[in-house]
Chains A and B, each alone.
Chain A
Amino acid sequence: MALSLDPPPKSRNKVVVAAIAAILLVVFGSYYAFGRSDGLDTTKVCVLPPVVEPYPDFRSSEYFFSDEFINRTLHVFPEAIRVPTVSYDDMDLDPSKDERFHVFAKLHALFRKEFPLLSKHSETVNKYALLYTIPGTDKSLQPALLMSHQDVVPVNSDTIGQWDHDPFGGVYDGEWIYGRGSVDTKNSMIAQLEALENLLEQGWKPKRTVLYSLGFDEEIGGPRGAKHVADLLLSRYGNDSISFVLDEGSMVEEMYGGHFAMPSVAEKGRIDFRCVLDVPGGHSSMPPDHTGIGIIADLVASVENDPFKSTLRKDSALVSQYECIGVHAKHMDKSLRKTLLNLGNKRNLQKLQQLIEEDPIKWATLSTTTAVDRISGGSKINQLPEEVVLEIDHRVSTDSSVHHVKEHMIRHARAIAQKYDLGCVIDDERVSSGKYGILNITSFSTLEPAPISPYGDDVDVWNILAGVNRYIYEGWHGVESIATLPEVIVGNTDTCHFWPLSRQIYRYIPILESETRNLHTVNEKIKLTAHLTAVAWYYEFILHTTR
């Protein structure tokens, strides 16, 4: 099989245009052939890719469901959970200056002990990030990059009593493995380590260079871990030098009686604002008509009452996701299915838009969101507040930009400043003058929406990913069929540091969401079967993409 996973070079524009034309022809052809009522030809759109074939010269992935392997991984995985590699918001940007990072060295020692062959290929980056490089035999192939992260979110001390088992105890109760990081994401980290170690044990020599990166501050933005690894890879391999990137991300979901693997091909951007209003104080027996808190409340209300609005586009990842769900759903309301199978029709697209708008979780995947998350002002109940601080978090839609959201903020801030005679400064730029007080706004956590990674049956790595999904889930998990569709995630993973390295970036964990519980909260846990499935999945995926 002559397989090129690499994205087509840009000089192939004509081919792309031709391909698009061909697809359009097929789509429109089928549209006319089957008529309005039947909609999409479900035998041609969102077709399941072939199930990948196992390699006979390697151990079958059945091994990962054997008692022998279970015994091994039930030792390693919980042991990794027991190392409390917590990252905190206020950690120093220099890891050697923050002793709370020391504990990561314990995890590295565990890896050296449990994954000796893989460890021969490791290097540390910026003290605690790990980069494994297994050189490929064919230097003409661009390297593949797998990613995960070592850190976990903190355990809230107020809720520690609500845990059924110690959050860092790594307890296995016969079905579930408990602990902080069991779902996010020591499971994917250990599964990838197990898969790679197992391949090396079998004398595996990949054709394509395999890179494996483990950050240590993903939960707090990744500036110490992933950022440094990305810089190193850029200097080592150059721009656009990585074939594809697979990081943790969305999972396999069960909907309408079907199974849907949803790798994320896009991530929303982000821009946060801190608004600080300073106004004269005074005794509260003679208040002005609007205290500083009242003015800020007016800003909040005007921002919230002018929400961002994105319109669903026919050629978007979300539309193809909904189309696929329509095609592969087992039990779906007829009229909904009809809508999803006829999204070429404007009215149906509008109907879907409406459905999305009604659900904040779905809406967040489509549109820029506004979340007013923090407010604090005043210090005493009988004194007028002199300073009020407001923090707003925006997640920027893939069809928008940081600039657009900032313009929106400037518009509202200026209107409020003029209404109350305030001087207004946004990121050191004066947007309004006034005498009563000062509204000072600064933006932070700024990140453009991620470039959209290619997906669909004309993308080789996508086909392998979807084929491995079928092999594992239909072959080992008793699932009747599993479709793979593109997802947009509203948060960010460490991949935001890797955009210059690859255009094919996917965020996906090959586990059933229903086999996990309580990500980031009390009693985070994962089923052993989910973990085993993940090991098997990574094993096959690595083999098929790097052989």
Chain B
Amino acid sequence: MSFLEDEPDLPQPKKRSSRLELICMCLLFVVVFGLALLLIPKPPKDIKTNFCPIAPPIEQKGNFSHPSVFQQPEYVQRSAKLLGGAVRVPTMSFDDMDLEPLNEPRFKVFKKLHKYLEREFPLSREFGKLEYINTYGMLYTFTGTNESLKPVVLMSHQDVVPVEPSTVDEWEHGPFSGYFDGTYLHGRGSCDSKNTLLAILEATESLLEQDWRPERTLLLAFGFDEEISGRRGAQELAQTIIDRYGPRSVEVIVDEGFGMIEQWGSTIGTFTVAEKGMLDVKIELTTAGGHSSMPPRHTAIGIMAELIRTMEGNPFAPGFEDANPVLGFYRCAAEHAPSMSKELRRIILDVDAGDNRQRLIKLIESRPEMKYMIQTSQAIDVVRGGVKINALPELVELFVNHRIAIEGSSASVIDRIESFCTEIARKHDISVESLGESLVEGSRGLFNITTLSVVEPAPISPSSGSVWNLLAGTSRFIFEDVFPNMRRHKGPVIVAPSVFPANTDTRHYWPLTRAIYRFSPVLLEDMVNFHTVNERLRFRSHISSVAWFYTFILNTTL
């Protein structure tokens, strides 16, 4: 994932060459500008706003060693050994795995990881009362002395995405080598997300070695099927926590996410406060078959093609309301990042003036990697139709994946598909049935719309208040004071909200709290080849993670 890496060109007014036009334009400009001067007050030259106040840094609480101890070479070696050992257990999750983990032999390898973690983190196992939920989910409970305080939950996951067998040879050090070359730690899972799993356990283990006894309960919840929906792991873990503590019982949840990015002359810590929703839709079209030598003007594939053309020709409109964290992100950057251009800064900070909001939307849309932060995406990903070249297709199936913008909902996406299908069905005398309900009656075929999986956009977590300030303050302390040399830019670390275009395991935890943040205490650029060949992590980012969790645990549990 990447944010605006360099500043794009702003849309410029078209240049005109005709002299007459130029004169006319000048005259018009004088008249209009003169009128405008009379009618509206002149906007201030430099806008002063306070959308994104910077929280003060927070050092670690209590009488514990300073987190810089993790930078000592002996600890770095030990930590690399720990993470390397975890990477070497190939805990891959596959799309076709059985929903019942006991029926799925490919989950057995996770036991090896458990043994390894129990052995390497004995204090955490003992004081954290490690439990296995639904066989492979890991739940540590460090019970606090003050039961009136809501628990803190730290999350990660044990599973990794599969290694494509055909690409094994392309790995420099083997996909499950866990090899540490002094700078990078190599292997599948080194970035996603055995690094945070280990960092959290390294932090608790180190705290327990110093006789840490939390006042507030700390829960560690590590799922085992995050990459394939989390229905076996996170869902069961979340249910266990809800059963034990009740809904809305948790103070704050931190799960894996983006990290620190360096942009506009500053370091920005991105805390993901919102996740787009997801909706998979299957559209089936059945028509009469027949011999292909006597075809109708449009076969079922042709009618489906018309639907596809309509869908792609009418993309979703972007949503960019004030509450959108993407706007929050830009506001934080505009208020604090030193090298953002004046013009962009003005557009962002005065977004309601003139067509600034539209200009900002256009700007975001021009960046493919940013566009879908504010817009529902539709990806027509699978199509199947017909069986033989000389037989008319009787059945065409289309699978569309949507990531629902935070202003949208699954219902609005379904409505839109229904209206397109209806339009095309009427033209071809075809029936439409959606989610079991008949919408249009026709005699020559049937569109059948069904949903395969639905996740509504996540509730937006607050990006101000005491919990936010604790996250921000801890991050400033770690990246400004403890690891000052990791980043290129000086000045305060800006902590800003962001949106995630996909889902982490946190989607199963919504009932527990509004304060859910996805954040990995790493420099984003240190995570190399995420999900693909030669995945590796620049190890300083692992050390910063250990230090961050160490401090955050102290700051929340004491």
A residues in contact (CB < 8 Å) with B: 89, 268, 272, 283-291, 293-294, 296-298, 300-301, 304, 307, 360-361, 364, 369-385, 388, 390-391, 393, 395, 445, 490-491, 520
Please tell me if B380 contacts chain A, counting CB pairs below 8 Å: yes
Closest 4 CB pairs of A and B: A300-B305, A297-B308, A371-B295, A287-B379
> Closest B-chain residue to A307, C-beta based?
B297
SS class, residues of chain B in contact with chain A: mixed
Bound-state Cα–Cα, A298 to B307, Å: 10
Task: Report which residue of A290, A361, A381 has the largest number of chain B beta carbons within 10 angstroms of its beta carbon.
Answer: A381
Q: Select which of B280, B389, B401 is within 8 A of A445 by beta carbon.
A: B389
B residues within 8 A CB of A384?
379, 381
Given A286-B372, A364-B295, are A372 and B301 also a contact pair (CB < 8 Å)?
yes
Q: Select which of B309, B369, B379, B383 is within 8 A of A284 by beta carbon.
A: B379
Stretch in B110-118, B258-266, B286-294 with 4+ CB within 8 Å of A: B286-294
Bound-state Cα–Cα, A268 to B383, Å: 31
Bound-state Cα–Cα, A380 to B384, Å: 12
Contact check, B383 vs A382: say whether CB atoms are below 8 A apart.
Answer: no
Q: B452 → chain A, closest Cβ, in Å?
A: 7
Please tell me if B298 contacts chain A, counting CB pairs below 8 Å: yes
> Closest A-chain residue to B390, C-beta based?
A393
B residues in contact (CB < 8 Å) with A: 95, 276, 280, 291-299, 301-302, 304-306, 308-309, 312, 315, 368-369, 371-372, 377-393, 396, 398-399, 401, 403, 452, 501-502
Given A288-B368, A372-B302, are A381 and B452 also a contact pair (CB < 8 Å)?
yes
Contact check, B377 vs A285: say whether CB atoms are below 8 A apart.
Answer: yes
Bound-state Cα–Cα, A376 to B388, Å: 12
Q: Can you add 12 more A-B contacts, CB < 8 Å, to A300-B301, A361-B294?
A: A283-B502, A291-B379, A297-B308, A301-B309, A360-B295, A369-B294, A370-B295, A371-B392, A373-B389, A374-B393, A378-B382, A395-B292
Q: A227 → chain B, closest Cβ, in Å?
A: 19
Bound-state Cα–Cα, A297 to B369, Å: 25
Q: B466 → chain A, closest Cβ, in Å?
A: 32
**Contact sample, A vs B, 18 pairs, CB 8 Å cutoff:** A284-B403, A285-B379, A286-B369, A304-B299, A360-B294, A369-B295, A371-B299, A372-B386, A373-B299, A373-B393, A374-B388, A375-B386, A376-B383, A376-B384, A378-B382, A381-B452, A393-B293, A445-B389
B residues within 8 A CB of A369?
293-295
Given A373-B392, A375-B301, A393-B292, are A385 and B382 also a contact pair (CB < 8 Å)?
yes
Contact check, A372 vs B299: say whether CB atoms are below 8 A apart.
Answer: yes
Given A360-B294, A370-B295, A388-B383, are A301 and B389 also a contact pair (CB < 8 Å)?
no
Given A89-B388, A371-B292, are A300 and B368 also a contact pair (CB < 8 Å)?
no
Contact check, A286 vs B368: say whether CB atoms are below 8 A apart.
Answer: yes
B residues within 8 A CB of A361?
294
Q: Select which of B315, B377, B384, B452 is within 8 A of A286 by beta carbon.
A: B377
Bound-state Cα–Cα, A375 to B312, Å: 18
B residues within 8 A CB of A382?
280, 381, 401
Bound-state Cα–Cα, A491 to B390, Å: 10
Q: A361 → chain B, closest Cβ, in Å?
A: 5
Contact check, B389 vs A372: say whether CB atoms are below 8 A apart.
Answer: no
Bound-state Cα–Cα, A395 to B292, Å: 9
Contact check, B380 vs A293: say whether CB atoms are below 8 A apart.
Answer: yes
Bound-state Cα–Cα, A300 to B299, Å: 10
B residues within 8 A CB of A393?
292-293, 295, 389-390
A residues within 8 A CB of B387?
374
B residues within 8 A CB of A491?
291, 293
Contact check, A293 vs B403: say whether CB atoms are below 8 A apart.
Answer: no
Contact check, A298 vs B381: say whether CB atoms are below 8 A apart.
Answer: no
Q: B296 → chain A, closest Cβ, in Å?
A: 5
> Closest B-chain residue to A294, C-beta based?
B312
Q: B391 → chain A, closest Cβ, in Å?
A: 6
